[in-house]
Amino acid sequence: MGVEVAVTDLTKSFGRQTIWQDVTLTLPPGEVSVLLGPSGTGKSVFLKSLIGLLKPDKGSILIRDTDIAHCTERQLYDTRKLFGVLFQDGALFGSMNLFDNVAFPLREHTKKSEKEIADIVNEKLEMVGLSGTEKKLPGEISGGMRKRAGLARALVLEPEIILVDEPDSGLDPVRTTYISQLFMDLNAVTDATFLIVTHNINLARTVPDNLGMLFRRELVMFGPREVLLTSEEPVVKQFLNGSMRGPIGMSEEKDQATMAAEQAMFDAGHFAGGEEINGIPPQMQPSPGLPERRGVARRQQRVLAMLHTLPPQAQAAVRRLMAAEREGEERARHAADPTLHEDPSVQRAGLG
């Protein structure tokens, strides 16, 4: 199973500019989490802080009893081996072919033979759908293929924590869906802990187990998808609906006078805000033939434990979603094993 990442009271500034302050969240082990936020809220800075590329001003980042915000260089080096990172552009070396790009971490950080390295590289390239492209240079392939090559490289050291920065950057909606499916498949196979930074609303609504949002230099919310997707928090609701209505403006947050004036114009019908998206959409599932994601059951247990604390509308939405998910899982089991239809005793035992 993946590793838990516990962040407590994290603050980061550049000079006099505070990027975010007192951020506290826990990435649950083996689950897929997404961090949202308007442009300029420091989401990528947060990722870089998690792997020690940037030092926070205060706070802690605890991973297996090591606080990487206050540790030795040796401890940081050892802890970084737990991470795989996919940067926005794949961060491939332009002068190396894909095979050598993916092999690079193995040659740098292990003493494996070239035969062992070749086996691992070929396995990871096949995993991301790039078999047969080993000799191509990054400049000879599409942006989506470069991202998948970058993901293959991030996987070669078998990381327990995978960080992904803007996977949809430069990709059309179809390719974004394909790479989202790839993340779900990898999580099903590896049970690694994922944190994905994105602006993509569809990805945020359908992929993660947990959602968080940075705004006005603070973490507005972080928690299970069922809680965030039914939230009435204005900034969360505005962002997830892609709406003009709310505290997020074109360049920065709006002041109260601006919000009041805009609300009056909305009420008068002068702004077309689009239809509001309600409810919780089904979560993307692993591809047929892959194991069920173990993180789903862990998240659902947490949601059930906190269900009584949620507003009535959220409680009703969660119950509808979980009933639909159980029905979908049952259909998937029947599709995978037709004998479940044939033996009534299986149905009576509650195993169908």
Question: What pLDDT, on a 0 to 100 scale, did the predictor assign at position 253?
Answer: 55
Which of 136-140, 249-253, 318-322, 334-338 is predicted with the least confidence, judged by mean pLDDT? Answer: 249-253
Say yes or no to pLDDT of 123 above 50. Answer: yes
What pLDDT was estimated at residue 324? 78
Contacts of 344 (CB under 8 A, 6+ apart): none
pLDDT digit string, tens, across residues 211-268: 999 998 899 999 999 988 988 888 888 888 887 877 777 555 555 555 555 555 555 4
Helices 98-109, 143-155: crossing angle, 10 deg rounding: 20
Beta-bridge partners for 61: 7
More confident call, 167 vs 272:
167
- Write down the pLDDT at residue 351: 33
pLDDT band at 342 (very low <50, low <70, confident <90, very high): low
Determine the Cα–Cα distance for residues 223 and 261; give it in Å rounded to an integer: 32
Within 10 Å of residue 33's Cβ, how many Cβ atoms?
A: 25
Enumerate residues 6+ apart whose C-beta is below 8 A from 99. Answer: 121, 125, 134, 135
Reported as a pLDDT band with limits 50, 70 and 90, residue 347 is: very low
Min mean pLDDT across 41-50, 65-74, 268-277 is at 268-277
Mean residue pLDDT across the chain = 85
Average the pLDDT over 292-302 and give the result. Answer: 92
Percent of residues, the chain, with pLDDT higher than 70 = 86
pLDDT at residue 333 is higher than 80:
no
Give the model's pLDDT for residue 43. 92
Interior/surface letters 4-20, b for 16+ CB within 10 angstroms, e for the rest: bbebbebbbeeeeeebb
Please give the structure tokens belonging to residue 123: 């396995």
Residue 135 scores a pLDDT above 50: yes
CA 314 to CA 54: how far, in whole Å? 37
Q: pLDDT at position 322, please?
A: 78
β-pair partners for 351? none
Q: Token digits for 32? A: 């897929």
Q: Which CATH class is domain 5-236?
A: alpha beta
Taking the domains of the chain in order of start, what are their residue ranges? 5-236, 294-348
Q: What is the mean pLDDT of residues 318-343?
A: 72
pTM: 0.84
